[in-house]
Amino acid sequence: MSVHPATVTVELPNRSYNIEIAHHCLKDLGSKLVETGLGKKSNKVLVVSNPVIYKYYGETVNASLSDAGFSSTSLILPAGERFKTANSLQKIYDAALNHRLERSSLIVALGGGVIGDMSGYAAATWLRGIDLIQVPTTLLAMVDSAIGGKTGINHPHGKNLIGAFHQPRLVWVDPEVLKTLPAREFRSAMAEVIKYGVIWDRDLFELLANCDRLDQLRYVKPDLLQSILYRCAKAKAEIVSKDEKEGNLRAILNYGHTVGHAIESVTNYRLYNHGEAVGLGMVIAGAIAVDLGLWTQQDQDQQMLLITKARLPQTLPSGIDLDAIAASLSTDKKVEAGKVRFILPTAIGSAELSDRVTTELVKQNLRKIVT
């Protein structure tokens, strides 16, 4: 089945850019850069990736860049969140120095959120900022991390504590690369997809509700996948265009993340991966919103249905330390003036920032999902 390519523009003063979504477009990256004049002046490109992704897609990207006349070099960093560090960043700077990147050169991030965030931060800071091209290879990166300009690395004492806003010049999405993505990565990113349906896009929510299963690529038809990528990109683009630096509105993208981060941290990042924890956070945030009379039990049930279709966890193991989760909420990066900034759904397709959520209310609802 052929699926039409789609373009979404992130509208920003003087820095608008496109997210292009097209099957088999990876091989056309170089010609697209030439067409848009990106990197033309210095002709130098640094591709940053990891060994798994590079094995699958490195050759296609490099051939595309050299066929288009670019001098490209690649840096392969070890895979995984634990390598999202100052040490890896230093390696990107070293590669930039060795390849003599100039102000008009490009960094291409070929990977998921880890590679995208690190390469983005390197691009934000090398020579006080050079152009970044995001080529996301995970579902999470396609719908979220490659869009919107948040870049950074982890500090040994906290995730994403070091970073900068640095918008890419282009986000180049080839959905074909999802065919090699491990099933758990696909499934957990579905939590973020459902998130957009709940907080912003009711039509997306309904599209998802009409699908039997959302947990594996093979159950999601190409045209539905294209709609998911398009609608999520559009949702994120609209939110970022209205509030680039997270003054207020952009915080709704953290729906499910407050409790999710706390669960991830209390279970030492071993039991659940990020999307799974966000899914659990959405279960709790929805239940709290029902308790506060902000949204209906019926809407909560519909959200639960999507979480079930994505085969995301909905319960916590007995013995989990709920006090530790509650305590961890107050150390979350989203704390402002001592209050946890909680995102609560108000209807399918809308959410708001609330300071009415007490740790006791969170604990009450956590208790309900302990098995």
Give me the residues paired with residue 316 across strands: 370
184 catalytic per annotation:
no
Of these partners, ligand GLY, ligand NAD, none, which one is at the site of residue 181 (CB under 5 to 8 Å by kind)?
A: ligand NAD
Here the tokens at position 83 are 């390598």
99 catalytic per annotation:
no
- Where helices occur in 173-318 by DSSP H, the ranges are 183-199, 202-209, 222-242, 257-266, 274-291, 297-309
87 catalytic per annotation:
no
List 274, 309, 311, 341, catalytic entry: 274
311 catalytic per annotation:
no
Under 8 Å between Cβ of 149 and 244: yes
Q: Which one of residues 23, 84, 91, 150 is an interface residue with ligand GLY (CB under 6 A)? A: 150
Per CB under 6 A, 144 contacts ligand GLY: yes
Per CB under 6 A, 180 contacts ligand NAD: yes
257 catalytic per annotation:
yes
Q: Which one of residues 8, 46, 53, 109 is an interface residue with ligand NAD (CB under 6 A)? A: 53
SS (H, E, C) 119-143: HHHHHHHHHHCCEEEEEECCHHHHH
Of these partners, ligand GLY, ligand NAD, none, which one is at the site of residue 84 (CB under 5 to 8 Å by kind)?
A: ligand NAD
Q: What are phi and psi of 368, to 5 degrees?
A: -65, -20
Q: Which one of residues 96, 141, 199, 285 is an interface residue with ligand NAD (CB under 6 A)? A: 141
Of these partners, ligand GLY, ligand NAD, none, which one is at the site of residue 250 (CB under 5 to 8 Å by kind)?
A: ligand GLY
Under 8 Å between Cβ of 255 and 345: yes
d(CA 371, CA 369): 6
Of these partners, ligand NAD, ligand GLY, none, which one is at the site of residue 117 (CB under 5 to 8 Å by kind)?
A: ligand NAD
Residue type at 361? L
Please give the radius of gyration of the chain, using alpha carbons only, rounded to the nearest integer. 20
d(CA 22, CA 4): 7
Q: What are the Cα distances from residue 206, in Å, to 197, 209, 227, 294? A: 8, 5, 12, 20
Judged by beta carbon, residue 115 or residue 325, the one nearer ligand NAD is: 115
Judged by beta carbon, residue 32 or residue 150, the one nearer ligand GLY is: 150
d(CA 133, CA 167): 9
Name the packing angle between helices 274-291 and 257-266 (round to 10°). Answer: 130
Q: Which one of residues 40, 99, 184, 250 is an interface residue with ligand GLY (CB under 6 A)? A: 250
Residues at the contact surface with ligand GLY, assessed by CB under 6 A: 144, 148, 150, 246, 250, 253
Residues at the contact surface with ligand NAD, assessed by CB under 6 A: 50, 52-53, 56, 79, 81, 84, 111-115, 117, 137-138, 140-141, 144-145, 148, 150, 159-160, 177, 180-181, 185, 274
Active site residues: 128, 150, 192, 236, 246, 250, 254, 257, 261, 274
